Amino acid sequence: MTNADSERRPAHAIQDFLRAGHALYNSYNGVWMSVNRKKVLRLTERYGGDWAIQHAQRLIRLVEIIGEGMEYDSEAIWLAAHMHDWGTLPGFCRPGVAHCDRSRELAEDFLRQAKCPPDLMIKILEAIEFHHGGADGHCNEAVLLHDADALDGIGVMGVLREFAMIPTEGHLPYPLPVGIGMAGAYERAKIRMENNPRILRLPKARRIARRRVQ
C-alpha cells in the first residue's frame, strides 16, 4: 500500500458513509412523502372536493413559475398548498377562528401524527400561517405560497372560481343561484382584483399580476 492509498482510504470511507446516509434519508423521505401525499389528497378531497384540489394544483404550478431561480422545498410547497385552506372547509372550519390559524392547527396535528421531519414541518406551517399576509422575514416557501395564492385570486381564474362557489338550487341542466350568490361573487372577485396585486412580494409575481388585470 502506498502512502497515497492509506491517506485516501479514510476520506473515501467517510464519503461512502455520507452517501449511504443520504440515500437512506432520501428513501425515507420518499416513502414518507408518498404515503402522506395520499392521505392529504384524501382529506382535501373529502372536505373541499374538486375545488380545493384544483386550487392546490394551480398554486403548485404558480410556485414553479414565480419561484424559478429561488431555493425552496417543493415537498413543503406541495403539502402546504393542499392544507393551507383546510380551515375554511366544512367539517374543518371553526367559527371565530381565522382560517389561516385553523389550517395551521389542523396541519400541525396531521404532521405530528405522521411524524413529519421537523425541518419540513416548520416550512409547511409557516407557509400555511402566513398565506394571507405576514410572510416577510419567513421562509421562501411562505413568501411563494403567499404570492401564488394572491395571484390565483385575480384574472380570469380569480373571477371564475368565485362564481364556481355560488350555491345553487334546482337540478341540471338549469340550476339557479341562491340568494345574493351572483352579487356576492362579483364583489369578492372585484375586491381581490383590486387588492391582491398590491400585496405581492416577488417581482415575477407582480409581472404576472399586471398581465392578469390588464
Q: Rule CB under 5 A: which residues touch Fe ion? A: 85, 149
What minimum distance in Å lies between the beta carbon of 132 and Fe ion? 6
| Under 8 Å between Cβ of 44 and 53 | yes
* Residue placing its CB nearer to Fe ion in the complex, 85 or 126: 85
Is the preceding omega at residue 173 within 30 degrees of 0, hence cis? yes
* Residue placing its CB nearer to Fe ion in the complex, 54 or 206: 54
| Under 8 Å between Cβ of 152 and 51 | no
* Residue placing its CB nearer to Fe ion in the complex, 50 or 71: 50
What minimum distance in Å lies between the beta carbon of 8 and Fe ion? 54
* Residue placing its CB nearer to Fe ion in the complex, 75 or 149: 149
What minimum distance in Å lies between the beta carbon of 5 and Fe ion? 59
Element containing residue 196 per DSSP (H, E): helix 181-199
* Residue placing its CB nearer to Fe ion in the complex, 120 or 145: 145
What minimum distance in Å lies between the beta carbon of 47 and Fe ion? 14
What minimum distance in Å lies between the beta carbon of 178 and Fe ion? 23
What minimum distance in Å lies between the beta carbon of 131 and Fe ion? 6
Q: Is 116 helix (H, G, I), strand (E, B) or coil?
A: coil
* Residue placing its CB nearer to Fe ion in the complex, 105 or 149: 149
- Residues ≥6 apart with Cβ < 8 Å to 63: 72, 77, 81, 144, 145, 148
The 3 state secondary structure assigned to 82-102 is HHCCHHHCCCCCCCCCCHHHH
Calpha distance 141→19 (Å, rounded): 27
Cα distances from 57 to residues 49, 62, 81, 146, 179, in angstroms, run: 13, 9, 8, 15, 30
